[in-house]
Amino acid sequence: MEVVKCWKCELPSEITIQASGFFCSSCFVEYFRQKYRKIIGASKLIRDRDLVVFAFDGSASGCAMLNVISTFQQHFAKANSENMNYKRKNRYITKALHMTDSCNERVKTALESSGIEYVVFSPSEEMKEKYEKQCFKIERFGDETENEFNKKSLQMELLVDKAKEMNAQFLMLSSHVESLAAKTLSVVSLGLGEEIQATAGLCHTYNGLRILKPFREMTKKEIDFYVNATCGEGILPEENKEEEDQSSIKSIQSLAAKFLSDLNSQGKDSNPSAIVRLSNKLKMKS
């Protein structure tokens, strides 16, 4: 039986990326990191000395992004210490931000081992009440869908406020293509077509702060593979949640995620990226 070889080296391939090819583990890790770097570089949004705050949530994609950022920071620090004479581009400063009610040991370990400066904060009840009044909410039927939407909206409001307090220019999220596609589908199902750009676009402005999603072109499969390939470096991914049964799904967000996941399992894995790319092409009518 023929073994498919990695496109970069001659080792047997371990992962297949649609439209990009076959990779072995180490070539894929390199490809993943360079893809992140290319997305940041090509966007030309971040300038030298900008402060980028990365919202770390402890998920697999969060761990992947933490690893990528810490790798690049170590590389830049080494280059700086060796006085290497090369063009310095995108020498932005990154700090991690973790919002929680009770800090998880696993998360703390991950943040400490990454070597990135981090802030862990727990918003007080008064703060939550204050921001609940001013953040964008839907209050038409008071169902589970609206509760989930409003909760996410409040979380975003709190993160943005904290990032602004840290004098950050950017807030980076680690959402991958499937999660963004599910969010886009649920936002459209709620009649909020104007949110499509904010949900799935690479960059949007929220309350004066720019929100970046550099993983919007990375699939869950790529992220899981990356995390498994690099988890020996001290970062452990979150355990996978069990799939919800159709009858227990109570919100549009969960239904949209399950629907896309079912399509993915039938081999229609180009749908999430098609939905996310729509945000580049659509705007709302004035």
Q: Does 264 bind another protein (CB under 8 A)?
A: no
Q: Show the tokens assigned to 45.
A: 């949004």
Please check whether residue 179 is in contact with residue 218, taking contact to mean a CB–CB distance below 8 angstroms: no
How far apart (Å, rounded) are the C-alpha atoms in residues 28 and 218? 12
Q: Does 269 bind another protein (CB under 8 A)?
A: no
Please check whether residue 66 is in contact with residue 96, taking contact to mean a CB–CB distance below 8 angstroms: yes
Residues of this chain, 206-225, that bind another protein according to CB under 8 A: none
Q: How far is the CB of 281 from another protein (least distance, A)?
A: 5
Q: Does 277 bind another protein (CB under 8 A)?
A: yes
Q: Which is nearer to another protein, 73 or 153 (CB)?
A: 153
Distance of CA 101 to the CA centre of its chain: 21
Q: Which stretch binds another protein (CB under 8 A): 39-47, 90-98, 118-126, 251-259?
A: 251-259
Q: How far is the CB of 52 from another protein (least distance, A)?
A: 26
Q: Does 93 bind another protein (CB under 8 A)?
A: no
Q: Which of 14, 144, 224, 269 binds another protein (CB under 8 A)?
A: 144
C-alpha distance from residue 81 to each of 75, 77, 164 (Å)? 10, 6, 30
Q: How far is the CB of 214 from another protein (least distance, A)?
A: 21
Q: Which is nearer to another protein, 47 or 268 (CB)?
A: 268
Q: Does 246 bind another protein (CB under 8 A)?
A: yes
Q: How far is the CB of 38 from another protein (least distance, A)?
A: 14
Please check whether residue 185 is in contact with residue 259, taking contact to mean a CB–CB distance below 8 angstroms: yes
How far apart (Å, rounded) are the C-alpha atoms in residues 230 and 224? 10
Q: Show the tokens assigned to 246.
A: 């159709």
3-state SS record for 235-281 = CCCCCCCCCCCHHHCCCHHHHHHHHHHHHHHCCCCCHHHHHHHHHHH
Q: Does 285 bind another protein (CB under 8 A)?
A: yes
Q: Does 150 bind another protein (CB under 8 A)?
A: no
Which of 130, 95, 87 has its CA nearest to residue 115?
Answer: 95
Q: Does 140 bind another protein (CB under 8 A)?
A: yes
In this structure, what are the phi and psi dihedrals at residue 103, rounded to the nearest 5 degrees?
-70, 130
Q: Does 120 bind another protein (CB under 8 A)?
A: no
Q: Does 3 bind another protein (CB under 8 A)?
A: no
Q: Does 275 bind another protein (CB under 8 A)?
A: yes
Binding residues for another protein, per CB under 8 A? 140-141, 143-145, 184-185, 187-194, 196, 246, 249-252, 255-256, 259, 262-263, 268, 271, 274-275, 277-278, 280-285
